[in-house]
Structure 1
């Protein structure tokens, strides 16, 4: 059974990569046999992006998804989770023109949360007046959200088909999991309406806290078996611009270590003369 596929080149720019280092991932809470015992990291010689030497095959993903973090499943204190996610919804509403702008239409604005995990963002977005839909690869995560009466689907984001464009797509700690992130951004561009918002959070390897963790030898992201990428803020900004997104806002949340949170608007098409 082949669990991994080798990257032939940088997954962002297709330039060659050089070895960056190796991390022991047997201490990761989701690690188990027959997953590999270490992760090899590469640095692109062209754009500088940090990525793993290999990404998971379909069989590899099944093995990784055989376990789940407790925070990837619905449950716990719902009011605490609402408080955690409310600032994200508030920034999104502001970027879309304010509460009156999003609730004054004939339909509720649609929010698609990719990799919805425990569903807390979906539930909080619903509280703000969005028609929120969660997507996740884990069947148990989706089943728990549905059992609570909220909308969720077990589906690969790249295979999503919609009848109408959506207003918001969130990828909270998701893009670093996707083998070829540019394809996900292209898909998001296809699904969002012009002027719609893409919300992304993920670790920033140029952040002060990341550099401190590296210096102290306590950085958990190098052994993160679910991640294929460690983005810098600048590299992510260039990738977003490449796929038609303009960064409108930036935040530093505290859900995980060294995180950055980016709010990017899909560019309006140019008007014909």
Structure 2
């Protein structure tokens, strides 16, 4: 079985010059299972300095990886606690958009959509795990098993959230360009993901306990600097930076469509 489709160029800027920076063992990851490789190879683009894996999983490998779902990714997980976390995320968006359709990409436990609904938004979710889609639908929330690039909408979307999702997408720039197309005038993009420029990232690297290097579902390690420049390339203006409560070393960014 071919496990990875290897990058021949940087997935952000397309430069073909890349440098090997790390080889990490991922056998202790909770989703690892044979015949998937125990090694993760990380590269750095010589031009834009973006850090990414040597490749992304084939559909066959993804099917093996997605055989199980982590507890925190299951719809309804810690619903009361996650409601409070989601409310603080939504509060960051409210000054820029306070109504309309809220599309959550890779909705996971569904908390962000449940809470957005309480705030008066029309919630819609997409995810690649079929059991999550079925469960979210059972709560009366519109949900689809689909890829962001395949989403069509007759009506402009007010908010698109990608909470700890962008680093899972083989070509993040394509995803951001798609969100730009889907969002209405002054639509809001909410992102959360690890920040490789944070001090805690550097401390964990020094202590050799930085789990992001062995996170099997991640293809990218973004710095705040590179993410901001990518957002601007895709037509967004970052307007707010914050710290994520969902995962360690995480950042939260609110950006507005120009």
Q: Specify the TM-score bucket, using the shorter chain as the normaliser.
A: over 0.9
Aligned to 1:10: 10
RMSD: 1.0
Please list the CA deviations of residues 237-257 of structure 1 after superposition, one character each: whole Å capped at 9, or x if unmatched. Answer: 000000000001111022101
- Structure 2 residue 203 is the aligned partner of structure 1 residue 192: no
Deviation of 1:76 after TM superposition, in Å, equals: 3.5
Aligned to 2:158: 167
Please list the CA deviations of residues 57-77 of structure 1 after superposition, one character each: whole Å capped at 9, or x if unmatched. Answer: 111221211121111111243
* Contact 2:192-2:250 within 8 A present in 1 as well: yes
Distance 1:265 1:245 in 2: 5
Aligned to 2:221: 230
- Structure 2 residue 107 is the aligned partner of structure 1 residue 116: yes
What is the total number of aligned residue pairs between the two structures? 257
What runs of 5+ residues in structure 1 fail to find an aligned partner? 103-108, 268-273
Aligned to 1:71: 72
Aligned to 1:105: none
Aligned to 1:265: 256
What is the TM-score with the length of structure 1 in the denominator?
Answer: 0.92
Higher-Rg member (1/2): 1
Distance 1:54 1:265 in 2: 30
What is the TM-score with the length of structure 2 in the denominator?
Answer: 0.97
Q: Which runs of 4+ in 1 moved over 6 A?
A: none
What runs of 5+ residues in structure 2 fail to find an aligned partner? none
Distance 2:143 2:115 in 1: 14
